[in-house]
Amino acid sequence: MIRKSILVVCLGLLASTTLFAKNKEQERLENSGVVMQEIMNLPDNIPQDVMERAECVIVFPSVLKAAFVVGASYGRGAMVCRTGKEFHGPWGSPAMFALEGGSIGFQIGGQATDLVLLIMNDRGAQSILSSKVKLGGDASIAAGPVGRDASADTDAFMRAEILSYSRTRGLFAGVSLEGSTLRPDDDATADVYGRRLTAREIVIEGHVGVPPSGRHLVDVLQKNSPHNESKESARNK
């Protein structure tokens, strides 16, 4: 009887832990939508022409800087891409991602910060979906332009596969993430969808619909950037 009681208690603890993890990842996905909405509501946010060229967006709410490692950071969030083989369709379902290591700038200090990464071309999207990548090495990255009148037409922005932004204490600016690593977080994705799925299965193959916890994020992106203007311009030439 004692062994049976211990087994029941252990199973209950395991179930509670699993439920907590699932709720935590769903909450993180919901927070990603809130962060993206708040950033798009800022007077000087991501330039419209930059958003319209982005093929994917990754949002990391409340990234923390590790005090015991100078400049080290760690964050988890969600990636949403436009649907279609050429990333020209409506925004699709989210996959969970993790950001690790490197430096996210002195302006962040010891505070938690929100990060937004825009994936600007097919090569950048495909590399990130395939495996762990080092930003600034495996994938080129630059601090993104800020302000309604800013443009991504300069050489530095045109060459970058990823543009990065941060928001800390209400300050929104481009930020350097070189040296950090970015990878699909398949465990977190499983907690959101209730089954094992890779980022590629979700984004490229479109195997699942948008979960309720991801609807806000997808709706914000669809409202603010319904079309991939870089693809539309290429078709019209």
Report the half-sphere exposure of 198 (CA within 13 A, side-chain side).
Answer: 9
Check: CB of residue 214 under 8 Å from CB of residue 189: no
Tell me the residue type at 9. Answer: V
Whole-number average pLDDT of the chain = 81
What value does the mean pLDDT take over residues 209-215?
A: 96
143 pLDDT more than 70: yes
Find all residues with CB under 8 Å of 103, minimum gap 6, and list them. Answer: 70, 71, 72, 73, 176, 178, 179, 180
179: tokens are: 């040296």
For the ranges 47-51, 64-68, 91-95, 133-137, which has the lowest average pLDDT? 64-68
pLDDT the model gives residue 103: 55
pLDDT the model gives residue 200: 93
β-strand pairing of 181-184 with 162-168: unpaired
Q: In whole angstroms, give the CA distance from residue 71 to residue 104.
A: 7
189 pLDDT more than 50: yes
pLDDT, tens digit (0-9, with 9 covering 90-100), for 4-14: 544 443 444 44
pLDDT, tens digit (0-9, with 9 covering 90-100), for 194-207: 999 999 999 988 88
Backbone φ, ψ for residue 59 (5° rounding): -115, 125
pLDDT tier at 169 (50, 70, 90 boundaries)? confident
pLDDT the model gives residue 68: 40
Find all residues with CB under 8 Å of 210, minimum gap 6, and list them. Answer: 92, 93, 94, 218
pLDDT tier at 17 (50, 70, 90 boundaries)? very low
Q: Say how many residues make up the chain.
A: 237
pTM: 0.82
pLDDT the model gives residue 187: 94
Tally of CB atoms within 10 A around 84: 15
Q: In whole angstroms, give the CA distance from residue 62 to residue 65.
A: 10
pLDDT the model gives residue 149: 64
What value does the mean pLDDT take over residues 106-131?
A: 81
The three-class DSSP label of residue 127 is helix
For the ranges 38-42, 79-83, 175-179, which has the lowest average pLDDT? 175-179
170 pLDDT more than 90: no
pLDDT tier at 62 (50, 70, 90 boundaries)? confident
Q: In whole angstroms, give the CA distance from residue 114 to residue 108.
A: 10
Q: Hey, which of 120-124, 172-176, 203-207 has the most confident mean pLDDT? A: 120-124
